[in-house]
Amino acid sequence: MASGGVVWALKAPHQVGRYTRGVAVTTIKQAFVKTYQQHADRTALRWKEDGAWIEMSWRELMARVRQVSEVLNRLKVKPGQSVAIHMDNCRQWPEIYLGIVSVGCTAVPVDAKLRPQEVAHVLRNSEAEVVFASARTTPILREVEPHTPTLNTVVLMEGEKVLPIKNGRIRYLDYDDTMADVQEASERDDCLFNVREPTEGDVASIIYTSGTTGRQKGAMLTHGNFASNVEAVLQCIDVSPEDNFLLVLPLHHAFAFTANLMIPIFSGAQISFIESLKTVGENTREVSPTVLIGVPLLIEKIYARIMAGLKKKPAAYFLYRAGLKAPVIKGIKQKLGGKLRFCVVGGAPSAVEIINGYTELGIPIIEGYGLTETAPILTFNPVDAPLPGSVGKALPGVEVKIKDPNEEGIGEIIARGPNIMLGYYKNPQATADVMEEDWFLTGDMGYINEDGYVIITGRKKSLIVNREGKNIYPEEVEAQILKSEYVLETIVLGYTVEGETGERVGAIVVPNEEAVAEHRRRRQHPVTDDELTQLMVSEVKRVTTDISEYKRPRRIQVRSEEFEKTSTSKVKRYLYAITPTEV
């Protein structure tokens, strides 16, 4: 395994935060204006309302963006000040974001599903002065008012449902009314959108990490960070105004934001909003997307439904297994809208068998890797030469290498490039912890093979070191445990024994209720709690016989409820510890 880095030649220099780069478009506003000028009357956004699909052109979107900018003018928001977006995906989300960043203000996307104390932390830490929110999230904002000293205005989507709200310090306004009030001013030549121009070094977003290891930190990402990242991705995949991106993931997350919003804005592609996660299949058939952006959990569920449906049709399943796949694949693709060219997957590791399964269906899965702090994409699997099990090669303009590799070439993955954040907002110590000069320390462990593909082996903070000094990567053990049909979820953690140095391996498992129910049906009598525990323990032991003995769990805990997760379906590992007796 190679331990050296993959280095790509950089373009002509332009200063962007920590690094140098050179692209024709250096701000999000420039990209938006360019797309508007080239494709004004083409479809930008598509969403379903009252049972019918509605389209908005780039010309119409531009008018709405100018209005949002003018709302900020009325509210006297100055360049560099923070404006939060606290709402689920909706067709107004892009216009609000673009209206904020196009006049030099900083957008702070907030997960609408966060708990009140988490929302309070983000609004307080980011020093947000204005929040664009929805009527649904109003109760949370009312609850956190005392903890958000800089907040002075809340602009509410569907505000008529909850307004008026009496508050001496914070104004609550209706979004539609406020937009209508500024429409005339937004159409003048001297409107704020025309007067203010952000630079590539201005902070476009403060995106808060999803918090798998504790309190969220706000990554400051510049216009140049995003512009360089999108331009690099567009050198790796072919995207045009003819493409239609299905928007499933939440836009407050860095991966969805760049892949599902920024790439269409820079390329002129369309964005189609799903109604909800329950309607993904129906909406896919209705809008015929060409590109689907997802996390592994979503892609796996779609694949499982495809294969389950196929098995219900014995003739079709027989043809597929016999290698006569063409007519079967054509039918499957029609159920996905008939035009899907590829899926881009990120946010977590993907199972190799799922990637290969989609490949057999003629739908390439392009797996990438990155972090919030890197805007977010660092590596991308080449479309013409993907390596399942890897996260691909470094993007053009990005350097990736391994820090302190061991004898197997495994060490911490570090990166530098024009997409690396400026730092964490108001947190210089946390910034210093992840930056060594201009290198960002990802916290992920892995190696780079001789062909330049990056393979991730686990998280540095999750690493278990036993008393013999051997490294155990929880992700490897978890993947093995998940081979049992009886295990729905698992996390592998280290634990200590009094009087011993180093850690031992433990596992917490959540039973797959469907598989257990089938097991119960075959036995024709109920499964007691003790029997369920014994079943899970024996299953973990059975499936881990294929890995080295020192990696096998010595303690196993059975949990009835699914693990608490972040908005991107990552388990909050810091909430859990191994407690049961040794098995």
Average pLDDT for the chain: 90
User: CATH for 464-575, among 3.20.20.140, 3.10.110.10, 3.30.300.30, 2.40.50.220?
Assistant: 3.30.300.30
pLDDT of 507 reads: 95
| 3-class SS string, 325-351 | CHHHHHHHHHHCCCCCCEEEECCCCCC
pLDDT digits (tens, 9 = 90+) for 525-562: 778 888 899 999 999 999 999 888 889 999 999 998 99
The CATH homologous superfamily to which domain 1-10+223-411+444-461 belongs is ANL, N-terminal domain (3.40.50.12780)
Which is higher by pLDDT, 21 or 551? 551
- Count the Cβ atoms, other than its own, within 10 Å of residue 527: 16
Do 1-10+223-411+444-461 and 464-575 share a fold? no
Q: How long is the chain?
A: 583
Say how far apart CA 371 and CA 365 lie, in whole Å: 19
Encoding tokens for residue 475? 């992700």
Task: Write down the pLDDT at residue 161.
Answer: 94
User: Does the structure show a pLDDT above 70 at 16?
Assistant: no
Residue of 64, 65, 153 whose CA lies nearest to 103: 65
350 pLDDT band, cuts 50/70/90, is confident
Q: How far is it, in rounded angstroms, from Cα 366 to Cα 391? A: 9
Domain ranges (residues) in the chain: 1-10+223-411+444-461, 464-575
Between 168 and 413, the more confident residue is: 413
Q: Is residue 71 scored above 70 in pLDDT?
A: yes
What are the tens digits of pLDDT across the range 177-203? Answer: 999 999 999 999 999 999 999 999 999
* pLDDT, average across residues 104-119: 93
The number of C-alpha atoms within 13 Å of 162 and in the hemisphere containing its C-beta is 22
Residue 414 burial by Cβ neighbours in a 10 Å radius (0-12, 13-18, 19+): buried
Return the SS3 of 300.
helix
Phi first, then psi, for residue 106 (nearest 5°) are -110, 125
The answer, yes or no, to whether residue 129 has pLDDT greater than 60, is yes
Identify the pLDDT of residue 3: 35
Contact 122, 208 (CB under 8 A): yes
Non-local (6+) Cβ contacts of 349 within 8 A are: 296, 456, 475
* pLDDT tops 70 at residue 505: yes
